[in-house]
Amino acid sequence: MKHFAIVPGDGIGPEVVKVGTDCMEALCEISSFDFDGELFNIGGQRYLETGELLTDQDISDLKKKDAIYFGAIGDPRIKPGILEGGILLKMRAVFDQYINLRPVTSWFPYVPLKREVPFDIHFLRENTEDFYMGLGAKLRKDNGYRAEIGVKRESYDMGFDIKAEPSEDDEYSIEVGLLSRKGVTRFADYAFKYAQARGEDKVTLVDKANVITNNYGMQREIFQQKADEYGMKLDFMFVDAMSMAMIVRPETFGTVAVPNLFGDILTDLGAQLQGGLGMGGSGNINPHGLSMFEPIHGSAPDIAGQGKANPIAAVLAAEMLLDNQGFPEEGRMLHAAVRHCLDTMQVTPDLGGKLRTEEVGKAMVDFI
Ligand code: ATP
Ligand code: MG
């Protein structure tokens, strides 16, 4: 029996998570898979009522679970950044979910693809380092153009001195992209393990090592060591070339490892390539700890409560959750249920269909 935390969240989150949990319950009836889902009230609604984001109690309750199934959080009444920082980023940090997994899969002909060749790219985005550590500073005359740059774990004195006397209104800012050998090594290790588990013999590493030479040079070296260790192949792609290649030959990629900033950008490109926000699932994974699976879209307040939300992204997130929890066969059944709904056009208006969210859910459950 698996124990999942279910965090429906705000907006369309609860609507699509309901479909995903209904599908998982249907699976329990026809397979050895079994789970109990405990609902967690975390998100914008609770924040407005109580001022609480992610409490210590939440964290210790979540820690007891095998995995988290997450909808979306967001509320137009709340200043941007508060929920993201106080809940999502905090969760990633406390559970050290250092891999962001994003499959980009074609569902032709039901989505607006450029190419009719099927593709299935699995992006692994590093989730904790690179340019997204908030590691930077303003350098001004009043601080002597010196910066004490602090992160949670350590403090880096940049010792940054500008020799020439700058004018009164001069100001500089720096943002540091930091990679650690430890961080890259665990990332690379997961990438090769993941590719191997998918029956592939190669990982593609995306970077910009020709310009950002220190960071991505070290990253290449570490990935190469891991490739040798696993006896697998390693391909390099520059991120600019990769964004073109994703459009013209997406079928040539399998497992793709990409650092944090470039991963953010490429996976949004991937989302459109596969048919929009309603079609993608994602995982925030700690291979040795608590992982969380969610649709790639947000709370979409503009369509909340109208039955228009496409539940496919949430169901694909449930598929990834099952795969991660050791139930790949059951995961494939959810995949097949999605395929069935697309083949029979039992889909929501964003895909040109006429069904409501819960009707798509019912079609999937009946199929299972
Ligand atoms: P948040 O602040 O929580 O990210 P958002 O307003 O940015 O919310 P998103 O969920 O990121 O909304 O999506 C942007 C738009 O895409 C939505 O306003 C909605 O119209 C559409 N959309 C997103 N997800 C879905 C879905 N599952 N089904 C149909 N349309 C969707
Ligand atoms: Mg959004």
C-beta of 302 in contact with ligand 1 (< 6 A): yes
CA of 323 to the centre of ligand 2 (A): 26
CA of 242 to the centre of ligand 1 (A): 26
Q: Under a CB-based contact definition with an 8 Å cutoff, are residues 69 and 17 in contact?
A: yes
Contacts for 131 with CB less than 8 Å, ≥ 6 apart: 175, 176, 177, 260, 261
List the residue whose alpha carbon is closest to atom 15 of ligand 1. Answer: 300
pLDDT at 360: 98
Judge if ipTM > 0.85. yes
Name the closest ligand to CA 295: 1
Tell which one of 47, 83, 89, 297 to mutate to probe ligand 1, the residue whose CB is within 8 A of the most ligand atoms: 297
CA atoms within 13 A on the CB side of 192: 19
CA of 298 to the centre of ligand 1 (A): 5
List the residue whose alpha carbon is closest to atom 29 of ligand 1. Answer: 309
- Euclidean distance between the first and the last CA atom of the chain, given in angstroms as a whole number: 20
pTM: 0.90
List average pLDDT for each run of 10 residues in the chain, which is 368 residues long. 97 98 97 96 97 96 98 95 92 94 85 73 95 81 71 54 62 87 97 96 97 96 98 98 94 97 94 90 96 96 97 98 96 96 94 96 98
Q: Which residues surround ligand 2, an ion (CB under 5 A)?
A: 298
Name the closest ligand to CA 10: 1
Atom of ligand 1 nearest to the CA of 349: 29
Atom of ligand 1 nearest to the CA of 301: 6
Tell which one of 18, 75, 77, 303 to mutate to probe ligand 1, the residue whose CB is within 8 A of the most ligand atoms: 303
Helical ranges in the chain per DSSP H: 13-30, 44-50, 56-63, 82-83, 90-94, 181-197, 213-230, 239-248, 260-273, 312-324, 328-343, 357-367
